[in-house]
Structure formats: structure tokens, C-alpha cells
Amino acid sequence: MGQGSITKFFQKKSLLRFVQKYQPLGSGEPEEEPQQECELKIIQQEQEVAVLPPKDACKCHKEDLARALNVDLQTGLSEFSVLQRRSKHGWNEFSVENTEPIWKKYLDQFKNPLILLLLASALVSVITKEYEDAASITMAVLIVVTVAFIQEYRSEKSLEELNKLVPPECNCLREGKLQHLLARELVPGDIIYLSVGDRVPADLRLIEVTDLLVDESSFTGEAEPCNKTEGVLLEAGDITTLSNVVFMGTLVRYGKGKGVVIGTGENSQFGEVFKMMQAEETPKTPLQKSMDRLGKQLTLFSFGIIGLIMLIGWLQGKHLLSMFTIGVSLAVAAIPEGLPIVVTVTLVLGVLRMAKKKVIVKKLPIVETLGCCNVICSDKTGTLTANEMTVTRLVTSDGCQAEVSGVGYNGDGNVYLLPSKEILKEFSNISIGKLVEAGCVVNNAVIRKNTVIGQPTEGALIALAMKMELADIKDIYVRKKEIPFSSEQKWMAVKCTLKNQDQEDIYFMKGAFEEVIQHCTLYNSGGISLSLTPQQKALYQQEEKRMGSSGLRVLALASGPELGKLTFLGLVGIIDPPRAGVREAVQILFESGVSVKMITGDALETAVAIGQNIGLCNGKLKAMSGEELDQLAEAELSSTVQNVSIFFRTSPKHKLKIIKALQRAGAVVSMTGDGVNDAVALKSADIGIAMGRAGTDVSKEAANMILVDDDFSKVMNAIEEGKGIFYNIKNFVRFQLSTSISALSLITLSTVLNLPNPLNAMQILWINIIMDGPPAQSLGVEPVDRDTIKQPPRCITDTILSKSLILKIFMSAIIIISGTLFVFWKENPKGGITPRTTTMTFTCFVFFDLFNALTCRSQTKLIFEIGFFRNRMFLYSVLGSFLGQLAVIYIPPLQKIFQTENLGVVDLLFLTGLASSVFVVSELIKLCEKRCCPPKHTRGCHN
């Protein structure tokens, strides 16, 4: 029996139970027709149940909600209802449409113009019976295509990874019983019970709540958990304001609750992110665009050569077909088949070097794209900051001030009295000691293994007590009563008594300053309670405003025998502080022409405080809210976002808008983030960078790059690597093209002028091995030049074949051609070509090749500046090529194959001196450029 038949069988059985349950008294067998009508009516009712958008659900009363979702809030759904609803709404999961089979994705790699050109070369080689060439070209193409395919295939798993964030299990009420189910089985109308530590399994409208706090930072970027209620909302604002709705994938930090499922799978808020991500395509990297352009340029060059040769041959009266064959063969020789391999090898080595620095790169071309990056958009919570609330400032009621070091919930750090910087422990300062004690006692959080269980704000107060060595002071009190925090009263209090002592009860209170101060009649001064005057209140209010304006979350603390007669103890400033090393990284990025922009769901004051703390835009900050973004037209947005450094109160849609606007303005944008709300932006950015430890699975899979240890400063290492790689590729292109043009021109000139060929087929093959072999490949692994790192980002419109590079290529080619033709003319006797003629010409060309490779190690620096021994692979490959050439000249079996003969020491010295001219001239040009035209830093396209 098939799966569909089994499902229908159980549906029918469930329906019969459901219908029979409601048969009128006294009836025997249910009548066929009424039963069928009843069945159809029930099925129709279930089919009409639709998902409720959060903004509608938040305005519904419980009774309206039960009616809209056709559910009894006391017993939950029946199994029949669940089956009917699942047939309409599907499973509570995300289905990735895999429209393209793997083989098609693999074949798509062959669309690259350079790859197609190489395949055409292989085909021509087969037609002209050059089977060795055809085999080597085909092998090169297969290696490049396979490596690229594997990288691309791995990176496209981002949509599948969304399933991993959907919680696997939940507590659900069905048919009056509380069941433990897989989250994927939920349907709209299911009743869910939530408790501390649960991941919310679907979008829920809350119907019962007890002190429920939910961490929505992965959605909104807010570090502070949201206080949830069950009451009806009159107005539905942004999703961050929907206090009676909880969203799939968020985390219950405190309390418990009960809710009705209003959205599952792709119909949840999480699903909105999924759909946006599905619609996004990863943009092409600047290197891919440059390689496409180079492929097209080489194609045009090849067709130009074929046309020229055919025209000259036709004018000379030669056979047209034979001239076409020669032209095509020469064009094939001109195409550097080693280029895709060198690019791939260079990028792979860059990836490996970055892996050692704990940066994982998932797509090869992304490495080089980093060199073009001129804007970094960064999420705040969990990326620029650690997403760990920390007390940073204390102000006591008698005017003592202290600053606190250390980040997170580990107790590392100290409390320093200002201005003396004296380290305080326990009650060495009575006023600060009493303030910290109160924060520790009026507290429900627990810290275990550097993780807070409970409210992060309360965790910050416990961590402060740990730094003061007062974490155990809570144990000397017995708690008698707790008045929990509520959003209406904005304070929390506990009634305690000292253990084993017959003393009167003492209240400890914490909360918003304006609420706590109303319960105070006294203030603490060095352990003595004094009467609280209006002047004192005004001073505290001024201090509270000053701390709040600097982005701190301010809590007031008090203690005393009665709630109306408390002693004011002071103020505590809490913030989610920047990660270590972020300020320095932002400064270096700013100096090298990279603009850093902060995008956060937080409020303006907090965002500006962190922005100033990390030195965004050298302190010249301009901020914009998500609402202001929505009001701008597309054209206006592109010009405005360039000058804004902080975007606050933003949603995933806003993040996407910002990135698209910057890209339209010509910027190469990198996005760093860690939450679900960052996933769409990470995928649409030119470079998506996720956090390895704090990052959600979906953000890691959507990104191109992962910072393993969440260290934002590692972005700097990655950008340095990217800047160096492009220059290595340019060096290789210069060497390959100058060598291939030289070889091509020699054969062309001899063909056109009816001269004997200066090189035979085996010698050309040997030159081709050197041209595409180790000396050429080793240019791709040249260590990154330190001065290259200091340069601003490369403009994406810069091509690999720039005007200056083309001039240098032709200069080297002219010197090589002139020198080789001079040797050919000098050694060419009147009686015809001898083995000595071809040996001298052949060796001269190979030596020119090796000296040309030496000067191609840098476009701007002299060999003495970059150092002879820095690139050891290059040294070994040049030495190997030199010894190989000597073997071809002096070993008898090889002499027969290559038609060479022994040369004298004087001959070798003469050829070495002549061939070094290409190196000497190139170095002199570099020297002139340094003296006459000091190096201009390449300005990025985006300022």
C-alpha cells in the first residue's frame, strides 16, 4: 500500500471517529447521507482555516483567535483537523526547489569565454593532429572546471541550512493531551507550551504568559530580550513592537507561556527571510568579470591574427586553406592555456593562507574580491559587539564614580575607582560595595560556564559582583517575597532577611531611575543614610540623562525597610560593548580607503555610542533610521547611503535595500553578520562574512566567508590577501603574453617573409612547457607585498590588461624578438640552417624567457627591493628550467630529439648577457617610474 493510500485510510478512520462522536442520542448506525454532508462540512471548515499575519493576530481577542483558527483553546486540535490542515499548509519546514540537476551546474562552468576558447584550441589541435597539445589543454580545462564546480556547489547549500535552525521538538496540546512532537508536524491552530530554553517552533500569538522574556536578537538585532504579554494590541507597528507574538527560531530566556500557531514554514516571519533569500542571486565577482573580459580580448586578438595571416597569404598568392591552418595554429599558440590554472592555484593558496588565520573562504573568487572591497556594512549585535551585556560604569548616591573593565559573563576584569584608578574589591569602598550588593540580591539570573541563564541585564549585575568578589553575598539573605518586574511599573523588588539573625526585613529594588527614586526618602553617604533633597534628586537625574545619552542602559538601585522609605544607592550603566580589536580594525580600514557602516535594529543612542566607541568615520557620524530609508526614492537612496555611517531600527528588508543602493552607486560591498536577520543581506552582498561561533547556521551558509573565532579584525587579513592576489595574476599574465607574443611573432615573421623556420616543433613545445609550466606558475605564489596592502581598494573597472601592462608586454616582446632574430641572423650561414643555428636561437629564446620571468615578479618594485630569495618556488623552477635547457643541449639522446648540439662556454655567456637585456631594460623603466612619477594610490570607485 502506497504512502498516500495509508494517509487517506487514517484520515477516513479519524473522520469517522470525529463524526460518530457527535451523533444524536438514540440513533443507531449513522445514516449515510447526513454523515457525508457532515464530513464535507467539516472538511470545508478545516480547508478554510488560513494563516494569520502577525499584525492581524496581535489585535485579536482570544475568542476571535479561536474562532478564526477553528480551535478549542482548552483541548487543542483533533488529529483529523491536523491532517486536513497539513494537506493545505504543508509541513512546518522549508522546501528548497532544486530545479537544476548537478550535471547541468557542472556544464554551466564551461560557459566562461576563456574556457570555450581553450576548448576551441583543443579542437583545432585535434584537427591539425597535435594530439599532445589537445590532451594537455583538455586536462587543464577539466581541472579548472572541477575545482570551480566543487566550490560553487558547496556554497549553494545556504537555503537547505534554514531547516537546521527550525527547532526539532516542542510541547503541543492536541485532543486534550500535552504531547512532545517534532516541530515540522505543527499546523496553524496548534496550541504550544513554552518554557525557559525553548526555541519557538512557529509564529505564535500568545494567550497565556508568566514573566516571559524572549531573545529576538537573531531577528531584530536587539541585545536585550523582549518582554512578552498576552493582552490585545490596539495598533500593530513594526514586528519589534508586537509584544503578544513570538516568532519561529527565537529563544525563550525566562518565564513561560502558551500560544496558538498563526504561521508555519514559509508563511512565518522566518519564511519571509527564506523567500527573500531564494530570490537573491550571488553577484559575479570582479575577478570573474575581469577574466570574462580577458577571454573576449584574447578571442578578438586570435581572430585578428587569423585574418591578418590569411590576408597576407592571399596577397602573396598562397593556398588559402593552408594559410588558414597556419593562422589558426598560431592563434592557438597565442592563447595562454595555463591562465585558468594559475588563477585557480593562486586563489586556492590564498584560501589556505587565510584558513591558517582562522578565516574560512567558501568561494574561490571571493578571495580576490576582497581586494576591491571599499564598503563594509556590519551588523552591530554579535558582530561589532559580543552580544553580552556588561556593566561599564557605576555612580553612587554620594558621588563616587567607577569604571568597569572586562566583557561578558566570566567575571574577568576589575572595578576602578575614579579618578585614582584604585582597584576595588568587596567593601573596600562602602558606597560602591552596597550598590553592587543590591544588584546581586535583587536578581534571578544564574551564571554557569560563562553563560547566563535568565535576563542578560541581570547576568551583567552578577558578573559585576564576581569582579568585586561579592557574588556569594546573595547567600547571606533569605528571600521572603518578590515583586516581579513589569513594563507598567518598570521596577523589581525583593523582600529579604539576613540568615540566622533576628533583624527586620530589608527590601532591595532595581529599575528605571524615575520609578525607583519615587520610593526613596533617603540616600546613602559612605554607609550612612541621609535625607534626600530635591537638589540631590536633580543631580541624580542629570547623571542618569548623561549616562543614557552615551548609549548606556541605566538601572537605579535602592534598599530599605519599607517600599516607600528606601535609601537610594546609585546608578549602574550597562551596554553590549564592542569586541576586542574592533576599534583598531576600523581605524586601519578607514586609513586604507574602506568605509565601515553599522546596520542595527537597536535605538539611535546605543548605535551612536558604539559607533563613537569604535571610531566609525573618524567620529564624524551621520545616522539614518529604517523608517527614513523607506521614504527615499531609489535614485535618492543610492546617493544618500554613501554618506551615512549608522543605520538604526532596521529590518532584513532595510539591510538588503542598503546593500543594493551601495552596489548601484558602484561600491563593492562586504556584509558581516551573525543572525537570521542578516542572511539575505549576506547573500546579496559581494562578500558575505559570517561569525563562526556566535553565527546562526543560516548566516554561515548564506555567507562566502566565515570568521572562525568571531574576530572582526581578521577581515583586515582577508583584505590584505585579496589585494595581493590580483597583482600576482597580473604578473603572470604579463609573463605569459609577452612570451607567447614573442613566439607567435617569430613564426609569423618567418612565414610572411618566406624565411626558414628558426625553431622546430619540439623546441616550440619545450618553450610552451616553460611558458605554462613551473616558472609561470610560481609567479602566482609570490608573497603579498607589504606596500600593496597599504593601497586603497582596487576599482572594479580596472582590467587585468591595463594600458601600462599592455605597453610593458609589448616592450618585453620587442626585446625578445629583436634579440632572438639577431642571434638567428648572426648564426645563419649562407649554406642554410644548421643544428648550431637552431640551438643558439632556441637557447637564446629560453634564456630571454627566464630573465623575463625574473622581472615579472613585480610591476613596480626592483628585484633588490622584493628580494631574490623571498619566493623559493620561483627560484627552484627557474633553476630547474635552466638545468633542463642544459640537458637538452648536452645530453646526446635529447640532442637527437630536439636537433641540438653542444655550445661552448663563450656562447652561453654571450646568450646570457644578451638575454639579460630584457631584465635590465625593465628594471631601468621601473627606476625611472619611481623617480619621475611617484606611485599614485589607486582611488576606489566609491569614496
Give residues with Cβ within 8 angstroms of 282, minimum separation 6: 155, 363, 683, 684, 704
Per-residue burial over 594-630, b = 16 or more CB atoms within 10 Å of its CB, e = otherwise: bbbbbbbbbeeebbbbbbebbbbbeeeeeebbbeebe
Residue 379: active-site member? yes
Half-sphere exposure of 332 (CA within 13 A, CB side): 24
Q: Which three cell numbers stand for residue 388?
A: 553580552
- For the chain, give the longest Cα–Cα distance: 127
Give 110's DSSP letter. G
Query: Residue 376: beta bridge partners?
Result: 596, 670
Report d(CA 78, CA 42) in Å as an integer.
Answer: 12
Q: Which three cell numbers stand for residue 644?
A: 551615512
Name the residue with cell 593562422. 327
Phi, psi of 892 (to 5 degrees): -50, -50
Cis-peptide into 419, omega within 30 deg: yes
Report d(CA 378, CA 690) in Å as an integer.
Answer: 10
Q: Give me the DSSP letters along 158-212.
A: HHHHHHHHS-SEEEEEETTEEEEEEGGG--TT-EEEE-TTPBP-SEEEEEEEEEE
Burial label, 469 (beta-carbon count in 10 A; 0-12, 13-18, 19+): middle
Report d(CA 251, CA 454) in Å as an integer.
Answer: 11
3-state secondary structure 246-314: ECCCCEEEEEEEEEEEEECHHHCHHHHHHHHHHHCCCCCCHHHHHHHHHHHHHHHHHHHHHHHHHHHHH
Instruction: Tell me which of 133, 198, 379, 678 is the catalytic residue.
Output: 379
3-state secondary structure 353-401: HHHHCCEEECCCCHHHHCCCCCEEEEEHHHHHECCCCEEEEEEECCCCE
Closest by CA position to 411, among listed 380, 377, 448, 379: 448
Closest by CA position to 788, among listed 836, 720, 851: 720
Closest by CA position to 355, among listed 778, 870, 706, 788: 706
Whole-angstrom Cα Rg for the chain = 37
Q: Which residues are catalytic?
A: 379
